[in-house]
A = this chain, B = another copy of it.
Amino acid sequence: MTESAPYTDISRLIAPRSVALIGASDRGETFGTRVFRQLCNFGFAGPIYPINPRATELNGRKCYPNLAALPETPDHVGIIVATERVFDVLEECAARGVPFATVYSAGFSEMGTPEGRERQAKLVQFSRRTGVRLMGPNCNGVINYVDAFAMASTAAIAGPRPPAGDIGVVSHSGGFGQISVMWRAMDIGLHISYEASVGNEADLDSLDFARFMLRSDATRVILMAIEGIKDGAKLLALAREAAEREKPIVVLKLGRTASGVRAAASHTGTIAGVDDIYDAAFRQFGMIRVHEANELYETAVLLRTGRWPKGRRAASAAATGGNIVQLADVGDTLGIEWPEYSPETQAKLAEFMPGYGKVSNPTDMTSLATGEPEKFRAALNAIAADPVIDAVTPIFAFLSRKDIEHGAAFVRECVKPAAMLWIGGCYDDRAFGPKDLVAAGVPVYRNALPCLRAVRAAADFGAFVARHRAGSDVPVRPADADADGARRALETLPRKLTEREAKQVLSAYGFPVTRERLARSADEAVAQARNLEGRVALKIDSPDIQHKTEAGAIRLGLQGDDAVRQGYIDVVAAAQRHSPEAKLNGVLVQEMASSGTEMMLGIVRDPVFGPVVAAGLGGIHVEVLRDIAYRIAPVTPDEAGKMLRELRGYKVLEGVRGAKPADMDALVAAIVRLSWLAHDLAGEIAELDVNPLLVFERGAGVKAVDALLVRR
């Protein structure tokens, strides 16, 4: 599943004691000139060794012809040379015993050519062979504000170096990580601990850098802008550590709408998009997913306070009515609740708003709050103390500096996690703005959407941390799940499985399926139908006919010997007409399950995350509306329940048009069991559809009616 390297300590890459730059220059505005200039100007305290055979001095520093000529072995070597020279230079690094090198040069897998991919593979082999750990190629290096070390070309770090902060940034793209995320984050008042633009990840990948940042005391939030990852298990390990340390990871995955072209035989496999799986993984692993660069740092403004609301119940107050209504609107779309205040809080607020009736949440304090900061703060404290409230987001408009600072003090000292929504300006100090407060550590937002998105993210992360502390994020295999039995069943079966054989595997694993038997003649069919009692379904049993309905080789609801006999003849005839060459095992005689809600469950293998479990309501919901939830297998019952509640059609399971509620417990158990099957038989099963799974009314369980299993 993975070709990525295990985690390693990369401290000396990010904070080297000494550094060399091969390809340093001071002429023109070449890449080598820019990186060397930034390296010198950023304030690095250790020795910097420029290497360039055409110079003896650069920027007033002695320049060396090659690595061998250096007085010491640098911890980290930057490489900016023509593509074809990269390997020679790397061999010099290996010979000199250099532990870390960053290859800025391009011309590798990003070219999309066989030659480029071959070069990249050669880099991987080089690293594995020599032990020299590599950043890049085609990357833009690291920026380390904590130790004042930067080896990157970006103009975003020109000028005086800002202080180190608590935000770590990891990106594949240089311009994206350094400008769209890092520089823009600083532009709103945040400060950065480390930035890494990892490029093609021949050796060290984005997760290695994220883990370094996670483990540094400086970093409190990690922002990742990635095009993908190589190893799902490595991501899960990182996410668990993030929960352990209570440091949230906010992730922007670029390329989300790129269609995941997947050659698949099963329904689940055909429908599951690459991005659907990433989305499921981020959700399941407690990572906060956003969709544009600005959302990364905006979310960090609150997250870095390290305070997690216990739930999604927010409150707010303002002297401006329109903004209160908008806040409520935006919150509703984000799943933020605005509970009614408790009677005690109502009573306290009534003191501040005499003559008004019931005080609603969010609260329009009307002009009563204007020019009376003490009163406003007292009202906010009353709201924050209410046990039905988890987070407070007061709105401030156009105020004096004193009043704004009053508000900031409230946010900082509030008994509940709080963020300030400051929509206006400061009328007695026009230069004073949100950036000043953010720089001082106060969570301040300009607009309702990023503010409440951050509240939601903080609550979600808090919930994940709580689950992690309780150990309830770890799936537990059902006691009676018989992996060996299922594997043995699979071993005895042919390569291409029929419905009946797929269900034998499911059944061996303890998954409920319809009662059925194969009939090899009309007589056998009649006998088996009698045996099953009630109406039966007849389906052709052939490894060569997967779409039995399209072949017309299916008959439903038959009763009585004559009907069954004729059904057998018809089904076989239809199959022969449809596929004259098909091998026919016979006809499957199956009980007609009583009516229930149709679901589709499935397994698909993702190249990054391995086995994935899918669930959706059957038919149109899956095929037209693409209303499907995914999780990386295995899952906990809690996650399985969340999958169901994510479905737009969830209400169908609760019972509509007078239908009784479906057996949710049995359905959850089925998803959990299927996810363990996916996990346990990951080596054997590529794809699996259970479609339909019938879910009966509460207490009556579930049953797989049809199944399609594709081996790896």
Contacts and interface: CB of A to CB of B under 8 A. Distances in A.
Q: Which 7 A-B pairs rank lowest in CB-CB distance, beginning with the nearest?
A: A176-B322, A173-B322, A175-B320, A257-B332, A155-B398, A254-B325, A179-B424
A471 B143 CA distance: 60
Interface string A301-343: 0000000000000000011111101101110110000000000
A112 B357 contact: yes
Contacts of A291: 329-330, 333
Interface in A448-475: 448-449
> Which of A318, A319, A321, A328 gathers the greatest number of chain B CB atoms within 10 Å?
A321
B329 A255 contact: yes
Contact of A398 (B156, B176, B177): B156
A663 B156 CA distance: 59
A154 B399 CA distance: 11
12 contacts: A106-B366, A154-B398, A159-B430, A172-B322, A175-B323, A180-B326, A184-B424, A254-B329, A257-B333, A619-B657, A620-B652, A625-B649
A161 B426 CA distance: 17
Given A225-B322, A321-B173, A447 B357 contact: no
Given A322-B171, A398-B156, A624 B180 contact: no
A658 interface: yes
B326 A658 contact: no
A3 interface: no
Given A319-B175, A620-B649, A425 B326 contact: no
A397 interface: yes
A425 B156 contact: yes
A321 to B, nearest CB: 5
A72 interface: no
Interface string A400-434: 00000000000000000000000111010010000
Interface in A354-383: 357, 366-367, 371
Interface in A641-700: 648-649, 651-652, 656-658
A565 to B, nearest CB: 26
Contacts of A158: 427
A322 B177 contact: yes
Contacts of A425: 155-156, 183, 187
Given A176-B323, A176-B326, A292-B448, 8 more contacts: A155-B427, A156-B424, A173-B323, A176-B321, A180-B326, A184-B423, A293-B326, A623-B657
A49 interface: no
A180 B323 CA distance: 8
A351 interface: no
> Which of A158, A398, A657 gathers the greatest number of chain B CB atoms within 10 Å?
A398
A57 interface: no
Given A328-B257, A332-B257, A620 B656 contact: yes
Interface string A570-604: 00000000000000000000000000000000000
A384 to B, nearest CB: 23
A328 B275 CA distance: 14
